[in-house]
Chain A
Amino acid sequence: GAVVSQHPSWVICKSGTSVKIECRSLDFQATTMFWYRQFPKQSLMLMATSNEGSKATYEQGVEKDKFLINHASLTLSTLTVTSAHPEDSSFYICSARSSGHAHYNEQFFGPGTRLTVL
């Protein structure tokens, strides 16, 4: 199957700093990428949908100025958490969609990035 990577796998930062998380599709072109957030013992919550070359679409309640998403190429999307605070500590998971695979499994998930804000 298709492979999606994330970097870093974990990061610890101080409150007020910004953190960038990269999501790459390694062996396919991702026309659309999705960013999810998952708090402990909770399910995945969609944050935003990112289409290559255009602005991301954010879910209700997600601050677009705080969570900056860039999808500049068909294999890379980045999520920048600006002015991070402890409440932003979470598990961030990206997912990529390819139009080139069988219809049943067109959304592939990365391994996740654990962010801890001190």
Chain B
Amino acid sequence: DAKTTQPPSMDCAEGRAANLPCNHSTISGNEYVYWYRQIHSQGPQYIIHGLKNNETNEMASLIITEDRKSSTLILPHATLRDTAVYYCIVRVAFMDTGRRALTFGSGTRLQVQP
């Protein structure tokens, strides 16, 4: 899996957009960018994934740069419930990895302020 770099922590005001960056300069052509989050004392939760096009779902948007060396997860209207650690993971698609588990880095601790 390609190495990812995320800021250790970020703050965001409630109701504002939270933009979480991730650098993955060594990403390979067949590797996807996955985002998970972990709310305190809970298991990780899948958010979104993408290969090269921008993606949006009910939780968030994922913007991937044209060279794919970095990406940004956007929570459009952050709420207090979005306070969590956000993990950016780069890896090949699950269907191609056999039985290999997800590996987690340090992530970004997002604190949404009232």
Contacts and interface: CB of A to CB of B under 8 A. Distances in A.
Contacts of B95: 103, 106
Contacts of A49: 99, 101
B29 interface: no
Interface string A28-53: 00011010100000011010010100
Q: Which of A44, A51, A108 has the most CB of B within 10 A?
A: A44
B107 A95 contact: no
A44 B104 contact: yes
A76 B45 CA distance: 20
Given A32-B99, A49-B99, A103-B93, A109 B44 contact: yes
B101 A109 contact: no
> Chain B: interface secondary structure?
loop
Query: Interface size bucket, B side?
Result: 20 to 34
Contacts of B45: 109
Contacts of B103: 46
B105 interface: yes
B46 to A, nearest CB: 5
Nearest to A109: B43
Nearest to B96: A103
Q: Place the interface of chain A in its size category.
A: 20 to 34
A112 B94 contact: no
A103 B43 CA distance: 20
B101 A91 contact: no
A44 B42 CA distance: 11
B102 A105 contact: no
Given A44-B38, A44-B104, 11 more contacts: A32-B99, A43-B104, A46-B103, A95-B44, A95-B101, A104-B93, A107-B102, A109-B44, A109-B45, A110-B43, A112-B42
Interface of B: 32, 34, 38, 41-46, 49, 87, 93-95, 99, 101-107
